[in-house]
Each structure stands twice: as C-alpha cells, then as structure tokens.
Amino acid sequence: MKRVCILTGGSSGIGKATAELLAQNGYTVYELSRGGSDADHIRHITADVTDAPQIRAAVSQVLGEQGQIDLLVCNAGFGISGAVEFTDPSDAYAQLNVNFFGALHCIQAVLPSMRAQKKGHIVLVSSVAAPIAIPFQAFYSATKSATNALMFSLRNEVKPFGVKVCAVMPGDVKTGFTAARKKSLAGGDVYGSALEHAVAVMEHDEQNGMPPSLVAKAIVHAANEKNPRALRTVGAQYKIFVALAKFLPVSWTNALVGMIYK
C-alpha cells in the first residue's frame, strides 16, 4: 500500500518540489494551500492553515479516501522584514499565525490518526534563521525558533506512539519566497541605511541560494528514515554556520551576524 502524505504550501517553491519528489518516491500526496490545483500524481485541497476547521476538514477528507496518513510535511509560510520597533503588531501576529500556528493546526489534526495506527512521520520546515537570528527579520526568526521548540517537545511526547518528529532547516533558497516577502521600511529615518542594506543582503543571498530540489531531497530523506535526527541543516556552508553557533559564545555569534548584515 502506498504511503499517504499531507503537505502544506505545496503550490510553489520548496513545497512544490517536495510534493513532486514524494510522488516520485511512491507516496500518495495531498497538497494543502489557499491557491493551487491538481497536478500529476498530486491531489490539491484548498485549505488555509490558519483556519483550524478547514484543516480538520481536509484531514478528514484524506482519511475518508485513504484510511491513513503516514506523513505530514508542514511547509506553509511567508516572510516579513522590518525594524522591530516599527513593525505593526498585526503583521507580526500574521507571521506567527501562518508559520507557527498553521503548523500546530495541522499537527493537532493528524495526530489522532497517527496515534491510532501507531506510526507516522511529521516533518516541520524550519530555517537556519531559527538558531541564527537575522536583524530586521526578527519575527520570521522567532516563528522558526518557536517551530524548533515545538518539534523538540512534540518529539518526546509522541515517541511512545511510534510517531517520529523532526525539523529541516534550509539556508537561503532561490524561490518566489523573496518576492512574496512583505517589506517595511518604516523607521528608515531612524535606522538609516542599515535597514535597507540588511534586507538587500538577505534578498541577494536568497536569489543566489540553493535550488528548492535540494531541500526537497532532505525532507524526503527525513520522511523515509526510521529514526530521523531532530534537526537537519540543508546547505554545506549553513551546516558550518550552525555548527559554529553551537560552539561560539552566543554574543560572538550574534556579533558576527550583525557584521554580515551591516
């Protein structure tokens, strides 16, 4: 019997590449997003991850059609940038609502069936921006740090039920994520060119980043592992950055990041 996957945010970028690779690896893939359509071997269900009843309905549909869910990939997300001081709280709430609570809604919807079948994998798409906070992108980093914390707690909670939980942390990836980012230059008169320069560096790195297919391979590898490692960094140079962040004093790491985006 084919393994069944629900994947969020699969209409483009990392999500689309992952959905296609999972289908090629024999999964029955259901892609959940607000806008999308059926593709070869991929079923689309229109659902907003911030709407818990919609997610529960989508999960019920999949269970009704397939009888099981073997893999959940929480990928839906977006970015905002701007100075912490001048960020509209409603934008920060929206960032957390999609990137963090959207994943929570999906996890809570699939766990009852995974516990009942005593197996399942949950893969959360995090970011190197979680362990290495980026200036003028504080709320994106915060959502990914929260995602990692959620993963670690959940990993221990559901281990007795045979459910495996892990997170994949990509570095810069060349996708439409950059163009979709909501940018605020409010406070530019206070922070000067630092704000614009930091965002420019970030966007340059993204547009020269790794292809989404590389991240997709890491996600599929994690999904197929019997005992996946808790955190998997994607990208050779980012593995070095994350390793250094573990061993250097926190203040040193933070100062180095500040220099990169200065």
The residues assigned a catalytic role are 11, 126, 140, 144
Cα(31)–Cα(44) distance, integer angstroms: 5
Query: Which residues does 116 contact at the CB level (< 8 Å), separation at least 6?
Result: none
Query: Which residues does 229 contact at the CB level (< 8 Å), separation at least 6?
Result: 166, 222
Helix and strand counts by DSSP (H, E) for the chain: 11, 9
Find residue 166's DSSP bridge partners: 123
Q: Residue 163 phi/psi, 5° resolution?
A: -95, 130
Q: For residue 109, which of 162, 53, 66, 56 has the smallest C-alpha distance?
A: 56
Cα(10)–Cα(53) distance, integer angstroms: 20
